[in-house]
Amino acid sequence: MKKASVILSSALVLGTLLAGCGNNNEAANTAATNAPAATAAPEATTAPAADAGTEAGAYQDGTYFGTIEADAETGWQTYALLTVEGGKITKADWNAFNVNNAGDLKKKVSEDGKYGLVEKGGAQAEWHEQAAAAEAYLIEKQDPAAITVDAEGHTDAISGVSVHVNDFIAAAQAALAAGPAEVGPYKDGGYHAEGEMDAESGWKSTVDVTVAGGNVVAVKFSGLNAAGDDKKQFSIDGKYGMKAGGASSEWHEQAELAEAYFLDNKGAAPTLDAEGKTDAISGVSIHVGEYFTLAEKALEGAK
């Protein structure tokens, strides 16, 4: 869906994870279009000696946030959120948000049994459990480069971890390279809001928002009909037919432009007319007013 900076700033800053083992049953099949730009990080992901570590006090105290590029197939974008106290990494969060669907963070999806690494991928532990082991190892070693990996991004250094860890390494390196960042005002997680069913169109508007590091990092404007169809996917599949009706672009393409505006303007709504339309977003002729209102409603749960 959208692009943005990966360094956390104030209210809204942007920040996929290679699935490792197993597939995410919730990921959309469309290419990621909501992805923030990945933070620049050192290329090396293999370590020097595993016990090399980082000298105590080497890091400036604060919170660090970094991402890698979103996976075009699954939509997951990996990030690392690190806390440094007394010059040492004391907390590490390896997670991901979905730039196609927004909604819950990857750990929550795994904790809720919806990622299925054990059942569907045959792994010995679920994704969030393996992530926790990798996080603990980083805190012990104090250096992302101390996690040795093979050519495929796997490691034998961390017991019980069979997923690719190279993305965690890269995101952690990116976070440390970016320096301390400001944590945003919201609680991390996925938030949802929906409007009333429109009797004329047969659709009700839905908004999903994802917060990471206290800031909004992904948003999805869509809808549902009585059959349970997702409006954005309905349009992607060519079933909505706006261009056939004379529009310059399809509904999902215009929705993505509105999402980009939302992220770029930190949730501020454009100037709207009485019908909820705007001239402020080039290429958008659909009603967008309700989406900005619903996004604000969704974020009430994140305060």
User: Which tens digits make up the pLDDT trace of 220-260?
Assistant: 999 999 999 999 999 999 999 999 999 999 999 999 999 99
Residue 42 has pLDDT above 50, yes or no: no
How far from the centroid of its chain's Cα atoms is residue 6's Cα? 11
Which of 148, 174, 131 lies closest to 51 in space, CA to CA? 148
- pLDDT bin (cut points 50, 70, 90) of residue 212 is very high
User: What CATH number is attached to the domain comprising 201?
Assistant: 3.90.1010.20
- pLDDT-derived band at 22 (thresholds 50, 70, 90) equals very low
209: left (phi over 0), alpha (psi -120 to 50) or beta: beta
pLDDT over threshold 90, residue 37: no
Q: Are 20 and 162 found together in one domain?
A: yes
Burial class (CB in 10 A: 0-12, 13-18, 19+), 247: middle
Q: CB-based contacts of 284: which residues, under 8 Å, 6+ apart?
A: 254, 257, 258, 278
pLDDT at 57 over 80: no
Structural domain containing residue 25? 1-183
Is the pLDDT at 156 greater than 50, yes or no? Answer: yes
- Which residue pairs, CB below 8 angstroms and at least 24 apart, start in 150-157? 153/18, 153/45, 157/50
DSSP element (H, E) containing 106: helix 106-111
Residue 203 has pLDDT above 70, yes or no: yes
Q: Is the dihedral of CA 21, 25, 31, 34 positive or negative?
A: negative
Q: Tell whether 6 and 147 lie within a shared domain.
A: yes
Q: Is residue 31 located within the same domain as residue 65? A: yes
Rounded to the nearest 10 degrees, the angle between the axes of helix 166-178 and helix 127-141 is 50
3-state helix, strand, coil in the chain (%, to 5): 25, 20, 60
Query: What is the enclosing helix (H) or strand (E) of 81?
Result: strand 76-85
Q: Are residues 179 and 195 in the same domain?
A: no
Domain stops at, among 155, 183, 211 = 183
Q: Are 148 and 210 within one domain? A: no
Strands (E), 107-184: none
Average the pLDDT over each of 69-78, 115-124, 224-233, 280-289 and give the range with the smallest value.
115-124
Q: Which residues contact 246 (CB under 8 A, 6 or more apart)?
A: none
Q: Is 293 exposed, middle or buried (0-12, 13-18, 19+ CB in 10 A)?
A: middle
From 125, 148, 183, the end of a domain falls on: 183
Phi/psi of residue 243, nearest 5 degrees? -65, -35
Say yes or no: 149 and 295 in one domain.
Answer: no
- Residue indicated by tokens 């990080």: 41
Quick one: pLDDT at residue 121? 87
Angle between helix 251-264 and helix 289-300 axes, rounded to 10 deg: 50
